[in-house]
Protein backbone atom coordinates (compact mmCIF):
# COMPACT_ATOMS: atom_id res chain seq x y z
CA UNK A 1 0.00 0.00 0.00
CA UNK A 2 2.81 2.44 0.85
CA UNK A 3 4.38 1.81 -2.58
CA UNK A 4 1.06 2.49 -4.33
CA UNK A 5 0.53 5.74 -2.43
CA UNK A 6 4.12 6.86 -2.96
CA UNK A 7 4.04 6.08 -6.68
CA UNK A 8 0.66 7.78 -7.14
CA UNK A 9 1.79 10.98 -5.39
CA UNK A 10 5.29 11.20 -6.84
CA UNK A 11 4.13 10.00 -10.25
CA UNK A 12 1.64 12.85 -10.43
CA UNK A 13 4.22 15.33 -9.20
CA UNK A 14 6.77 14.12 -11.75
CA UNK A 15 4.31 14.29 -14.63
CA UNK A 16 3.32 17.84 -13.69
CA UNK A 17 6.85 19.15 -13.17
CA UNK A 18 8.94 17.16 -15.67
CA UNK A 19 6.47 15.71 -18.16
CA UNK A 20 8.90 12.89 -18.97
CA UNK A 21 8.86 11.33 -22.39
CA UNK A 22 8.90 7.53 -22.07
CA UNK A 23 9.83 5.34 -25.03
CA UNK A 24 9.92 1.56 -25.44
CA UNK A 25 8.05 0.35 -22.35
CA UNK A 26 6.55 -2.36 -24.55
CA UNK A 27 9.97 -4.02 -24.42
CA UNK A 28 9.57 -4.75 -20.69
CA UNK A 29 7.94 -8.19 -20.20
CA UNK A 30 4.63 -8.01 -18.35
CA UNK A 31 5.59 -10.92 -16.10
CA UNK A 32 8.56 -13.03 -15.13
CA UNK A 33 12.10 -12.02 -14.19
CA UNK A 34 13.73 -9.16 -16.05
CA UNK A 35 16.86 -7.09 -15.54
CA UNK A 36 16.69 -3.38 -16.34
CA UNK A 37 20.25 -2.18 -17.01
CA UNK A 38 21.09 1.44 -17.72
CA UNK A 39 23.20 4.53 -17.34
CA UNK A 40 23.61 6.20 -13.97
CA UNK A 41 24.15 9.94 -13.68
CA UNK A 42 22.18 11.17 -10.66
CA UNK A 43 21.10 10.16 -7.17
CA UNK A 44 17.41 10.14 -8.22
CA UNK A 45 17.76 7.89 -11.30
CA UNK A 46 16.17 4.92 -9.52
CA UNK A 47 13.22 7.01 -8.40
CA UNK A 48 12.48 8.22 -11.93
CA UNK A 49 12.90 4.68 -13.26
CA UNK A 50 10.48 3.23 -10.72
CA UNK A 51 7.87 5.86 -11.53
CA UNK A 52 7.76 5.20 -15.29
CA UNK A 53 7.69 1.38 -15.13
CA UNK A 54 4.31 -0.23 -14.41
CA UNK A 55 5.83 -3.23 -12.60
CA UNK A 56 7.60 -2.68 -9.32
CA UNK A 57 11.33 -2.27 -9.79
CA UNK A 58 13.67 -3.44 -7.05
CA UNK A 59 17.21 -2.13 -6.77
CA UNK A 60 20.16 -2.19 -4.40
CA UNK A 61 20.95 0.77 -2.16
CA UNK A 62 23.33 1.57 0.67
CA UNK A 63 22.03 0.36 4.02
CA UNK A 64 22.86 3.77 5.52
CA UNK A 65 19.77 5.13 3.74
CA UNK A 66 17.49 3.13 6.04
CA UNK A 67 19.42 3.10 9.30
CA UNK A 68 19.05 6.75 10.29
CA UNK A 69 17.71 7.69 13.71
CA UNK A 70 14.77 9.84 14.72
CA UNK A 71 11.80 10.97 12.66
CA UNK A 72 13.95 11.94 9.67
CA UNK A 73 15.64 8.55 9.68
CA UNK A 74 12.33 6.68 9.82
CA UNK A 75 10.86 8.79 7.04
CA UNK A 76 13.89 8.15 4.84
CA UNK A 77 13.72 4.42 5.54
CA UNK A 78 10.01 4.35 4.64
CA UNK A 79 10.63 6.35 1.48
CA UNK A 80 13.47 4.21 0.15
CA UNK A 81 11.90 0.88 1.04
CA UNK A 82 8.57 1.95 -0.50
CA UNK A 83 10.35 2.97 -3.70
CA UNK A 84 11.78 -0.56 -4.10
CA UNK A 85 15.22 -0.20 -2.56
CA UNK A 86 16.72 -3.22 -0.83
CA UNK A 87 19.49 -2.14 1.58
CA UNK A 88 22.83 -3.91 1.34
CA UNK A 89 26.12 -3.15 3.06
CA UNK A 90 28.19 -2.51 -0.05
CA UNK A 91 31.23 -1.13 1.75
CA UNK A 92 32.37 -4.41 3.25
CA UNK A 93 34.63 -6.96 1.60
CA UNK A 94 31.62 -9.10 0.65
CA UNK A 95 29.42 -6.20 -0.44
CA UNK A 96 29.58 -7.18 -4.12
CA UNK A 97 28.64 -10.77 -3.37
CA UNK A 98 25.72 -9.67 -1.18
CA UNK A 99 24.42 -7.37 -3.92
CA UNK A 100 24.73 -10.14 -6.51
CA UNK A 101 22.91 -12.69 -4.37
CA UNK A 102 20.17 -10.19 -3.55
CA UNK A 103 19.65 -9.53 -7.25
CA UNK A 104 19.52 -13.23 -7.94
CA UNK A 105 16.88 -13.78 -5.25
CA UNK A 106 14.69 -11.03 -6.70
CA UNK A 107 14.94 -12.49 -10.19
CA UNK A 108 14.34 -16.04 -8.96
CA UNK A 109 11.08 -14.70 -7.52
CA UNK A 110 10.07 -13.52 -11.00
CA UNK A 111 10.45 -9.81 -10.26
CA UNK A 112 12.11 -6.81 -11.92
CA UNK A 113 15.63 -5.88 -10.86
CA UNK A 114 17.18 -2.54 -11.80
CA UNK A 115 20.94 -2.30 -12.03
CA UNK A 116 23.56 0.20 -13.15
CA UNK A 117 26.43 -1.81 -14.66
CA UNK A 118 28.89 1.05 -14.16
CA UNK A 119 28.68 0.32 -10.43
CA UNK A 120 28.47 3.97 -9.42
CA UNK A 121 27.31 7.31 -10.79
CA UNK A 122 29.21 8.71 -13.75
CA UNK A 123 31.55 11.48 -12.57
CA UNK A 124 31.02 13.59 -15.70
CA UNK A 125 27.95 12.38 -17.60
CA UNK A 126 29.86 10.01 -19.89
CA UNK A 127 29.22 6.26 -20.00
CA UNK A 128 31.91 4.17 -18.33
CA UNK A 129 32.97 0.53 -18.54
CA UNK A 130 30.45 -1.91 -17.13
CA UNK A 131 31.23 -4.34 -14.34
CA UNK A 132 30.48 -7.99 -14.99
CA UNK A 133 27.93 -8.44 -12.20
CA UNK A 134 25.20 -7.74 -14.77
CA UNK A 135 26.46 -10.64 -16.88
CA UNK A 136 26.63 -13.01 -13.92
CA UNK A 137 23.03 -12.22 -13.00
CA UNK A 138 21.80 -12.71 -16.55
CA UNK A 139 23.59 -16.03 -17.01
CA UNK A 140 22.77 -17.41 -13.55
CA UNK A 141 19.05 -16.62 -13.78
CA UNK A 142 18.34 -16.70 -17.52
CA UNK A 143 16.50 -13.38 -17.15
CA UNK A 144 16.37 -11.13 -20.23
CA UNK A 145 18.20 -7.82 -20.01
CA UNK A 146 16.31 -4.70 -21.08
CA UNK A 147 18.75 -1.82 -21.58
CA UNK A 148 17.60 1.70 -20.80
CA UNK A 149 18.83 5.27 -20.85
CA UNK A 150 17.72 8.26 -18.83
CA UNK A 151 18.35 11.34 -20.96
CA UNK A 152 18.42 14.80 -19.45
CA UNK A 153 19.05 13.73 -15.87
CA UNK A 154 22.35 15.61 -15.87
CA UNK A 155 20.29 18.78 -16.19
CA UNK A 156 17.80 17.70 -13.50
CA UNK A 157 20.54 17.12 -10.94
CA UNK A 158 23.83 18.66 -12.14
CA UNK A 159 26.82 16.90 -10.67
CA UNK A 160 24.67 13.92 -9.67
CA UNK A 161 23.55 15.27 -6.32
CA UNK A 162 22.06 18.30 -4.59
CA UNK A 163 18.92 20.22 -5.50
CA UNK A 164 16.71 19.12 -8.39
CA UNK A 165 16.14 21.40 -11.35
CA UNK A 166 13.32 21.43 -13.89
CA UNK A 167 14.51 20.04 -17.23
CA UNK A 168 13.14 17.79 -19.99
CA UNK A 169 13.62 14.07 -19.29
CA UNK A 170 13.39 11.11 -21.64
CA UNK A 171 13.46 7.51 -20.42
CA UNK A 172 14.18 5.16 -23.31
CA UNK A 173 14.04 1.34 -23.19
CA UNK A 174 15.60 -0.93 -25.79
CA UNK A 175 14.70 -4.40 -26.97
CA UNK A 176 15.37 -7.30 -24.56
CA UNK A 177 18.76 -8.97 -24.84
CA UNK A 178 18.73 -12.77 -24.65
CA UNK A 179 21.94 -14.42 -23.45
CA UNK A 180 20.62 -17.98 -23.19
CA UNK A 181 23.27 -19.03 -25.70
CA UNK A 182 25.79 -18.68 -22.86
CA UNK A 183 23.89 -20.85 -20.37
CA UNK A 184 26.21 -22.50 -17.86
CA UNK A 185 29.13 -20.20 -18.71
CA UNK A 186 28.74 -17.72 -15.84
CA UNK A 187 32.27 -18.47 -14.61
CA UNK A 188 33.99 -17.75 -17.92
CA UNK A 189 35.50 -14.29 -17.57
CA UNK A 190 35.72 -13.76 -21.32
CA UNK A 191 32.02 -14.53 -21.75
CA UNK A 192 31.16 -12.29 -18.81
CA UNK A 193 33.10 -9.42 -20.36
CA UNK A 194 31.52 -10.00 -23.78
CA UNK A 195 27.99 -9.99 -22.32
CA UNK A 196 28.68 -6.88 -20.25
CA UNK A 197 30.13 -5.02 -23.22
CA UNK A 198 27.11 -5.93 -25.34
CA UNK A 199 24.79 -4.49 -22.70
CA UNK A 200 26.86 -1.31 -22.43
CA UNK A 201 26.90 -0.94 -26.21
CA UNK A 202 23.10 -1.00 -26.25
CA UNK A 203 22.91 1.52 -23.40
CA UNK A 204 25.28 3.81 -25.30
CA UNK A 205 23.13 3.56 -28.45
CA UNK A 206 20.03 4.51 -26.45
CA UNK A 207 21.62 7.35 -24.48
CA UNK A 208 23.96 8.87 -27.04
CA UNK A 209 26.62 9.20 -24.34
CA UNK A 210 30.32 9.22 -25.07
CA UNK A 211 31.83 5.89 -23.98
CA UNK A 212 34.97 5.66 -21.84
CA UNK A 213 36.62 2.25 -21.52
CA UNK A 214 37.61 2.84 -17.89
CA UNK A 215 35.75 2.01 -14.68
CA UNK A 216 33.85 4.99 -13.27
CA UNK A 217 35.34 4.42 -9.81
CA UNK A 218 38.85 4.79 -11.24
CA UNK A 219 37.88 7.92 -13.14
CA UNK A 220 36.31 9.39 -10.00
CA UNK A 221 39.43 8.63 -7.95
CA UNK A 222 41.68 10.23 -10.59
CA UNK A 223 39.47 13.30 -10.69
CA UNK A 224 39.61 13.66 -6.89
CA UNK A 225 43.41 13.24 -6.75
Using one digit for the tens of pLDDT, what is the confidence trace for 192-204? 999 999 999 999 9
pLDDT at position 71, please? 75
Q: What's the N-to-C CA distance of the chain in angstroms?
A: 46
Average pLDDT, the chain: 86
pLDDT higher than 70, residue 171: yes
Please indicate whether residue 121 or residue 13 has the higher confidence score (pLDDT): 121
Count Cβ neighbours within 10 Å for each residue of 64-83 and write b for 16 or more, e otherwise: eebeeeeeeeeebbebbbbb
Rounded (10°) angle between helices 45-52 and 2-17: 100
Determine which helix (DSSP H) or strand (DSSP E) holds 147, and give its type and residue range.
strand 145-151
pLDDT higher than 60, residue 208:
yes
The model's pTM is 0.88
Q: Which one is predicted more confidently, 66 or 177? A: 177
3 state SS of 185? coil
Amino acid sequence: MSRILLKAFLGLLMRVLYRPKVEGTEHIPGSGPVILAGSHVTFVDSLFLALVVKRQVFFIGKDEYVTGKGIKGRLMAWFFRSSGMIPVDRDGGRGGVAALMTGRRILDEGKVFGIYPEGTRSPDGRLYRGRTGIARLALMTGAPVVPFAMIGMDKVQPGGKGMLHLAPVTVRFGEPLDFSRYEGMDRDRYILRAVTDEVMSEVMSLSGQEYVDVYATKARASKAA
